[in-house]
Chain A
Amino acid sequence: MDTSQGIPNFVRAIWRHAERQPTSPAFLHDGEAVSYGQFARLAHAAMTGSQAAGLMAVTEPKSPATIAEVLACLTEGRSVLLPPAGTSAVALAALCERAADPPKETCFVLTTSGSTGTPKLVPLLGRGVDNFISWAARQFGIGPRSVVLNYAPLNFDLCLLDVWATLARGGCAVLVDAGRAVWPGYLSDLLASTKPTIVQGVPLLYQVLAKRDLSFGSTGHVILTGDHAPAVLRARLSALFPAARCYNIYGCTETNDSFMHEFNPTQADHAQALPIGQPLPGVRTRIGDDGELSVCTPFQAPGYIGDDPTGRFDGAWFRTGDLVRREPSGLVYLTGRNDFQVKVRGTRVNLEQVEQALTSVDAVLEAAAVTHDGRIHLTVHSLPEAGLTPLTVRSLCAERLSLAMIPSSIAVVSTPLPRTVTGKIDRKQILRDIERKAA
């Protein structure tokens, strides 16, 4: 194997496992094991045969072959753009154009929802990924005997732990099919048959598993991340995973994980909110006068690709937009956001991006997106003669936004949206109207 300069350590480590332990399973997927030897053959087949910088977009659904394609790109020195599910062909072409010239040593280019109507591009350098994998592997004891559940789609930074750290340490990743990720029968069966030692996922994963009265004794580490986990759900974890240590991990795509809190699920119902805990080793943090958390991590991106009008990257620091409070104990708690960013089932969505996608359409005069009960509600103001209906607006959304950003409910109105005294769209009033209708 060519091990030229610039190839990240984790990529070399995967090839080493393929040489030394070719029969060990790298993946459990769709009822079958795929060995490191088979994985290496898939990656060889996906190679172009030349070392070349540049960018490749990988859009296929998660599978050993897709991950092999990513490995092939990284081995040959290319960066891999991983767009979110439901990115239309037009949107993908625009992303590729903007990401065409990523910083040197970029492995992955991930996207996050931005306020300007287009997603932001986050380049993750090999060095940062290697640093992250060193931390994760040591923290959770990831090694050749580890079986790690991979719940998130490939474009989520969570995969740096459950796919890439696992492979870098010779472990086995269990790939959850995105289409069936909330089906209790499928998921419970998968865990019962593959016996993962480490499980990481957004709270939704545990909500689905809790629908069945099963318990998974093989799991030693349970990681909650991406969103707030209610106390009632945390209380179920000790029955689901009787042998596991439980962690709440906080991070974002730009910096990867930065805080962690280990908690005892049997005490979960006593505490109202779960803290994000304390900074990981090597992570520096500061809290602004307004309570905004800034972090600097050994894993973080050097900045966005292209413009950053919001100035979120400030030298070595990244302003997270999350408002926090630090207790005298040193534990940090999330208290809110200072912008229009929300979490929709673990995915970051900037409501301004949803609105701008619509206001760029000629027939749309105004658009307001709000969230209620974890779902996006969009109200569009348009002239009756334009003939827009909730369904046609929905199709417009699907062309312009990734799947997680498409609103759950859409209303088209022919009267102006309510405004505040300062002339801004009155989202609070719109939200009150939606709550009134839902009641």
Chain B
Amino acid sequence: MNTTTLITTFITDQYLPGTSPAELDADYDLLANGIIDSLGLLRLIDWLQGEFTLDIDDKDLTPDAFRSVSAICSFVEGR
């Protein structure tokens, strides 16, 4: 699975039960539409750290890095 599919699948599984990954547009705003709330964001960051073996310190982050599937992909690929 490529990064986009992996992330999309995680988000639909975790936060959008009943929605298939194909339905979720890569630019859909996950924060403004209330899919990922601030606690959900912590769960996402935990998963990203494990899945992509990243070392993420939340002191250096802003929520905008996680606004959409494409933003999350850029964040992961930029690490």
Real binding pair: yes
Judged by a CB distance under 8 angstroms, whether A185 is at the interface is yes
Query: Looking across the interface, which residue of chain B has its beta carbon closest to that of A85?
Result: B32
Given contacts A390-B16, A411-B18, contact A183 B33 (CB under 8 A): no
Residues from chain B with a CB closer than 8 A to the CB of A86 are: 32, 34
Tell me, in angstroms, the Cα distance from A86 to B29 when the chains sit together.
12
Interface string of A402-436 (1 = CB under 8 A from B): 01001111110000000000000000000000000
Judged by a CB distance under 8 angstroms, whether A94 is at the interface is no
Residues of A60-92 whose CB lies within 8 A of B: 86
Interface string of A178-213 (1 = CB under 8 A from B): 011111111001000000000000000000000000
Residues of B1-33 whose CB lies within 8 A of A: 16-19, 23-24, 28, 32-33
The distance from the CB of B4 to the nearest CB of chain A, in whole angstroms, is 17
Given contacts A389-B23, A391-B16, contact A186 B34 (CB under 8 A): no
B58–A186 touching, CB < 8 Å: yes
Residues from chain A with a CB closer than 8 A to the CB of B58 are: 180, 183-186
Query: Looking across the interface, which residue of chain B has its beta carbon closest to that of A189?
Result: B59
A182–B33 touching, CB < 8 Å: no
Judged by a CB distance under 8 angstroms, whether A395 is at the interface is yes
Judged by a CB distance under 8 angstroms, whether B51 is at the interface is no
Query: Looking across the interface, which residue of chain A has its beta carbon closest to that of B59?
Result: A185
Query: Looking across the interface, which residue of chain B has its beta carbon closest to that of A396?
Result: B33
A406–B38 touching, CB < 8 Å: no
Tell me, in angstroms, the Cα distance from A183 to B38 when the chains sit together.
8
**Chain B interface category by residue count:** 20 to 34
Given contacts A185-B58, A391-B19, A391-B23, contact A179 B63 (CB under 8 A): yes
Tell me, in angstroms, the Cα distance from A389 to B39 when the chains sit together.
24
Given contacts A182-B39, A182-B42, contact A395 B61 (CB under 8 A): no
The distance from the CB of A202 to the nearest CB of chain B, in whole angstroms, is 12
Query: Looking across the interface, which residue of chain B has its beta carbon closest to that of A211?
Result: B42
A180–B62 touching, CB < 8 Å: yes
**Chain A interface category by residue count:** 20 to 34
The distance from the CB of A414 to the nearest CB of chain B, in whole angstroms, is 13
Judged by a CB distance under 8 angstroms, whether A169 is at the interface is no
Tell me, in angstroms, the Cα distance from A48 to B38 when the chains sit together.
36
The distance from the CB of B15 to the nearest CB of chain A, in whole angstroms, is 8
Judged by a CB distance under 8 angstroms, whether A394 is at the interface is yes
The distance from the CB of A82 to the nearest CB of chain B, in whole angstroms, is 19
The distance from the CB of A166 to the nearest CB of chain B, in whole angstroms, is 24
Judged by a CB distance under 8 angstroms, whether A305 is at the interface is no
The distance from the CB of B37 to the nearest CB of chain A, in whole angstroms, is 7
Judged by a CB distance under 8 angstroms, whether B77 is at the interface is no
Judged by a CB distance under 8 angstroms, whether A235 is at the interface is no
Residues from chain B with a CB closer than 8 A to the CB of A411 are: 18
Judged by a CB distance under 8 angstroms, whether B76 is at the interface is no
Given contacts A185-B58, A391-B16, A403-B32, contact A179 B38 (CB under 8 A): yes
Tell me, in angstroms, the Cα distance from A240 to B65 when the chains sit together.
30
Residues from chain B with a CB closer than 8 A to the CB of A408 are: 34, 37
Tell me, in angstroms, the Cα distance from A171 to B75 when the chains sit together.
39
Query: Looking across the interface, which residue of chain A has its beta carbon closest to that of B45?
Result: A183
A390–B39 touching, CB < 8 Å: no
Tell me, in angstroms, the Cα distance from A292 to B62 when the chains sit together.
43
B34–A395 touching, CB < 8 Å: no
Tell me, in angstroms, the Cα distance from A409 to B16 when the chains sit together.
7
Judged by a CB distance under 8 angstroms, whether A136 is at the interface is no
Judged by a CB distance under 8 angstroms, whether B73 is at the interface is no
Question: Known contacts A86-B32, A183-B59; can you find 6 more A-B pairs with CB under 8 A?
Answer: A180-B58, A181-B38, A182-B41, A183-B38, A391-B19, A397-B34
CB-based closest 6 A-B pairs: A406-B34, A183-B58, A179-B63, A185-B58, A182-B38, A398-B33
* 6 A-B pairs with C-beta separation under 8 A: A86-B34, A390-B16, A391-B16, A391-B24, A398-B32, A410-B18
A positions within 8 Å CB-CB of B: 86, 179-186, 189, 389-391, 394-395, 397-398, 403, 406-411
